[in-house]
Amino acid sequence: MAISNFDIILNIARLAMSADPVRATQQIERLRDSVIDAAPDQAEKLGRLLNRPTRRLEMQPVGFDEMRAGAQSMLPGERLTRSTPAPADRETGAALARIIFPEDNHEQSPFLPGQLSTVIDDLVGEWGRIDELARLGARPHTRCLVFGPPGVGKTKLVRYLARRLDLPCVEARLDGLVSSFLGTTARNIGTLFEFANRYRCVLFLDEFDAIAKARDDAHEVGEIKRVVNTLLQSLDARGIGLTLAATNHEHLLDPAVWRRFDARIHIPLPDGQSRRLILVENAAPVEFNETELKFLEWVTAGMSGADVERLVMGGKRYLVLHDVDPLASSVTNPSENRRRILLDGLRNQAALDARLFDPEIRSALLGSEDGLLDALLQAGFKQRDAADLLGWNQSTISRKLKAKAQLTSVGHENG
């Protein structure tokens, strides 16, 4: 017998998988096995949920408590509390940093390529093996520069690392520390580092290129040199804590700045598999089949993780504004309707956000359906899948391709 209110149960299961995946998986498996004979379609949906790719980085290492204890022992400073005043500009009183406490830090790791995921896991794990490292005359990484295009998850990664270490994150945008008053910028940098050296925390320097870019200002060469020297000296002096910096413009950094970091992590634009994972996670509770996911993977080529999230959010708005229920049953929402809704929603987003898509893909989406067919076939889609996405049957595809071949042949003969 089928389960009543199954859609509600499925949504609860999705939420449970996010909160406690291990125990939730066990219970969902029991539910799937109990309905597999009476309601195979419901069992299949539960099976798809169980098979959904999980984020390896989110599994806490076995020695998580040991790692946190190691981080605390490496940082012998005072405990940072909510009553501790944040570092501030002496003249204006403006805060120089935002403090994110562990209990407020719910940041998830960005989706990263396989090797990079392993590297980040190892970077965190070092803090649980400080004594073993010391016996070899080594220590954990203490200064890491994260760089890459906008929207790939640099800030997300830094906050995630702070959460994994169970430490407050003192987050400062270097462009916010720059002042028009002579000497104030260097003093602000000194104040920020004095604060970070006093308390147990992760220091995060966002927009790290701001000062490097300012060095090009011909009117303030002397002042900017003093600022950069202060920054370099402060980085050198901060040897016991963890300092992370992020930039979109690594090419602007001075070579002397690069040498201050013992880890220099490049986060690239997400590959196809990573974009799939981002789509699946952000689209929930909406689900896609394999053909739709392949199509969306092609459509999102060249996008950052933030771009993919923006695309999904736009799609959900489209569904609501056009009174479409993507969770409706297959009877009230047949597959051909799903394809048309998906295609129309993407076209709407391409018109609304002109810079979101790769120009060629945007042109294909907004052009004729014959042109989109050509683009899909050139991208490696099978004729059957292209027909499915366009809502056509196989004979329609064959007829169009035959007519196009005839026109091409006539054109060659006339030429």
The confidence score (pLDDT) of residue 67 equals 53
Strands (E), 40-109: 98-100
CA angle 214, 218, 90 (to 5 degrees): 50
How far are the Cα atoms of 45, 150, 223, 383 from residue 297, in angstroms, in the given order? 22, 19, 48, 17
The confidence score (pLDDT) of residue 252 equals 85
At the fourth CATH level, which superfamily is domain 59-266?
A: P-loop containing nucleotide triphosphate hydrolases (3.40.50.300)
Q: What is the mean pLDDT of each run of 10 residues along the chain (415 residues)?
A: 59 57 70 78 75 45 50 69 92 91 91 86 88 91 94 94 93 80 82 93 92 58 76 86 92 87 94 93 90 94 96 94 76 63 92 94 93 92 87 80 68 54
The confidence score (pLDDT) of residue 22 equals 61
How many whole angstroms separate alpha carbon 43 and alpha carbon 37?
Answer: 8
Burial of 257 (C-beta count, 10 Å sphere; 0-12/13-18/19+): buried
How many whole angstroms separate alpha carbon 196 and alpha carbon 170?
Answer: 7
Answer yes or no: are the C-beta atoms of 75 and 200 closer than 8 Å: yes
How far are the Cα atoms of 82, 100, 335 from residue 121, in angstroms, in the given order? 29, 21, 41
Burial of 122 (C-beta count, 10 Å sphere; 0-12/13-18/19+): exposed
Q: Is the dihedral of CA 365, 112, 258, 97 positive or negative?
A: positive
Number of Cβ within 10 Å of residue 270's Cβ equals 25
Q: Break the chain into its structural domains and give their ranges.
A: 1-52, 59-266, 271-409
pTM: 0.75
Can you spell out the DSSP letters for 239-308?
A: -SSEEEEEES-GGGS-HHHHTT-SEEEE-PPP-HHHHHHHHHHHHTTS---HHHHHHHHHHTTT--HHHH
Closest CA to 305 of 266, 277, 281, 270: 270
The confidence score (pLDDT) of residue 105 equals 94
The confidence score (pLDDT) of residue 174 equals 84
The confidence score (pLDDT) of residue 18 equals 53
Closest CA to 348 of 360, 362, 359, 327: 362
How many whole angstroms separate alpha carbon 243 and alpha carbon 197?
Answer: 10
The confidence score (pLDDT) of residue 59 equals 38
The confidence score (pLDDT) of residue 68 equals 55
